[in-house]
Amino acid sequence: MHNNVCIITGAGRGIGRATAVELDCLGWRLVLVSRTVGELRATAALCRQAVTLVADVTNSGDVQGIIDSAIVEYGRIDAAVNCAGMAPSVPIATMTDDQFQQTLQTNLAHIFYMTRALWPQFKRQKGGVIVNISSLASRDPFNGFGAYAAAKAGVNLFSLVAAREGKEHNIRVHVVAPGAVETKMLRDFCPETVIPRDQTLDPSAVAKVIAQLVAGDLVHTSGEVIYVHK
């Protein structure tokens, strides 16, 4: 896999950073995407072959720019792992329009933008892999997770349709839906008194599953949701 190229959104920390480290160990060349320069540089420092792109994946123009830049840099794209996300905990009665829209844009629309932008390149190459990060919340959400759970459930079904549409072009689309993962996003709304550390997954455990999907070890799970939790 030493010539293969993978784009990772949300690569600055958490599951995205762990995935970058995992794929780097397997010899992948990486395009690391985040909105935060410092976090991107920290992730890139852990990898041997990585370029960084500061972009807003909720903007379709930025997403097209990511694809174009990856092709200019490496000449091809073999996989994309969509880790960018946000998980505000806001009751439905007090959620604002902006909070709802931003949650859907970050967790769901960005996956649509990435998939649409990747499709022509994957068709030209006669194949490619997309791994979308969903959540256990897509089937069993906390109170306050109305928008987040709806977005992640949308990821599950959007990915199923994409997998079916991609089959004739040798394009696989997988979904990984973790439970509680020890990340900043989790701890921003959930203290250890609610979910202790011994009940959370390390991001590296999720990254190992993602790597199996990207590498093709779980080739026959295209379109399926793989739940990973303790």
Tokens 């990340």 found at: 183
CA distance 178 to 31: 23
Q: Which two tokens stand for residue 13?
A: 């920390």
CA pair distance 11, 102, nearest whole angstrom: 19
- Annotated catalytic, 227? no
Q: Which of 74, 113, 148, 227 is catalytic?
A: 148
How many domains is the chain built from? Answer: 1
Give the pLDDT score at 110. 97
**Helix spans in the chain (H):** 14-25, 37-44, 60-74, 97-104, 110-125, 146-166, 184-189, 203-215
Domain around 188:
5-228
Which pLDDT belongs to residue 2? Answer: 58
Strand partners, 189: none
| DSSP-derived pairing of the beta strands 29-34 and 5-9 | parallel
Q: What is the pLDDT of residue 230?
A: 81
Query: How far, in Å, CA of 171 to CA of 153, rounded?
Result: 21
Cα 11 to Cα 191: distance, rounded to the nearest angstrom: 23
Going by C-alpha positions, the residue among 157, 23, 161 that lies closest to residue 79 is 23
- Closest by CA to 121, choosing from 80, 161, 84, is 80
- Phi and psi torsions of 203, nearest 5°: -55, -30
The domain that holds 186 is classified in CATH as: 3.40.50.720
Q: Which residues of the chain fall short of a pLDDT of 50? A: 1
Distance CA(172)–CA(206), nearest Å, equals: 19
